[in-house]
């Protein structure tokens, strides 16, 4: 399973990248706005900086909702850097645009996916990635990871090439369960990635080793 970081914060991207386990980055308008990025030029410059930091796919989301608008924006985003993946919402015009991008060799990430039916449509349109939002599904008392399992099963059965990118990750257990469910990619906040490191027996064991090491010097 590939690890992407779900943020537009450069310090967090750098910290995750320095671990050596980062395969890509996803952003969305909420995450970009949080960093104070405003205006077409600043947006493009920020994506370029991220692409120069991380050697892997960087999802840049369109802001428009019409076919023409999405295609125009997507072409401009894709021109920023070869690693840009155009992130498109799961709406009727979005599906049409994803098919257009597929036919023109532009990579896409179909976002705001909450059902297996939506994931089938994204795959039919040739999306490179599909992003089911598992944390937001959990928020409504359904099981987001069950949706990942279902989509992985459908894609394997049907031979769809779209990669299942588990999004809206809220904790380290989500990452573990997505790996079990066969997700191709997990896009996570830095805190969830770092949470994977934690185990009290590791801390206790290391403390003992450090104490005993002193006796060896």
Binding window for ligand G3P (CB under 6 A); candidates: 42-50, 121-129, 133-141, 146-154: 133-141
State the alpha helices, DSSP H only, in 105-195: 116-124, 134-139, 144-158, 172-181, 190-195
Q: Is 141 left (phi over 0), alpha (psi -120 to 50) or beta?
A: left
| Interface positions, 1-20, toward ligand G3P (CB under 6 A) | 6
Least Å distance, CB 190 to ligand G3P, is 13
Can you tell me which of 56, 135, 182, 195 binds ligand G3P, judged by CB under 6 A? 135
Q: CA 78 to CA 84: how far, in whole Å? A: 5
Instruction: Please calculate the CA angle 189-24-76 and round it to the nearest 5 degrees.
Output: 110
Beta strand spans in the chain (E):
2-6, 24-26, 58-61, 84-89, 108-113, 129-132, 163-166, 185-188
Of residues 87, 92, 99, 214, which has the active-site annotation? 87
Q: What residues contact residue 144 under an 8 Å CB cut-off, 6+ apart?
A: 132, 133, 134, 135, 136, 137, 138, 166, 168, 174
Can you tell me which of 152, 167, 183, 186 binds ligand G3P, judged by CB under 6 A? 167
Least Å distance, CB 28 to ligand G3P, is 4
Can you tell me which of 128, 162, 168, 192 binds ligand G3P, judged by CB under 6 A? 168
| Interface positions, 179-198, toward ligand G3P (CB under 6 A) | 187
Q: Does 26 bind ligand G3P (CB under 6 A)?
A: yes
Can you tell me which of 53, 76, 136, 184 binds ligand G3P, judged by CB under 6 A? 136
Give catalytic status of residue 75 as yes or no. Answer: no
User: Which residues of this chain interact with ligand G3P, rule CB under 6 A?
Assistant: 6, 26, 28, 133, 135-136, 167-168, 187
* Residues marked as catalytic: 87
């Amino acid at each position: 399973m590939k690890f992407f970081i779900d943020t537009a914060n450069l310090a967090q991207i750098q910290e995750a990248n320095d671990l050596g386990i980062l395969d890509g980055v996803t952003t969305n308008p909420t995450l970009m706005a949080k960093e104070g990025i405003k205006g077409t030029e600043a947006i493009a410059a920020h994506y370029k900086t991220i692409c120069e930091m991380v050697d892997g796919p960087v999802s840049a989301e369109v802001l428009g909702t019409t076919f023409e608008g999405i295609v125009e924006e997507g072409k401009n985003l894709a021109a920023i850097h070869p690693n840009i993946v155009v992130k498109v919402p799961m709406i009727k015009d979005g599906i049409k645009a994803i098919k257009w991008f597929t036919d023109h060799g532009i990579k896409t990430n179909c976002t705001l996916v909450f059902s297996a039916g939506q994931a089938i449509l994204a795959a039919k349109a040739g999306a490179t990635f599909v992003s089911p939002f598992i944390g937001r599904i959990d928020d409504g008392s359904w099981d987001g990871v069950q949706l990942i399992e279902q989509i992985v099963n459908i894609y394997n059965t049907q031979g769809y090439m779209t990669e299942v990118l588990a999004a809206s990750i809220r904790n380290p257990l989500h990452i573990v369960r997505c790996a079990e469910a066969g997700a191709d990619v997990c896009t996570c906040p830095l805190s969830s990635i770092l949470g994977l490191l934690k185990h009290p027996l590791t801390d206790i064991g290391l403390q003992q080793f450090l104490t005993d090491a002193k006796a060896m010097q």
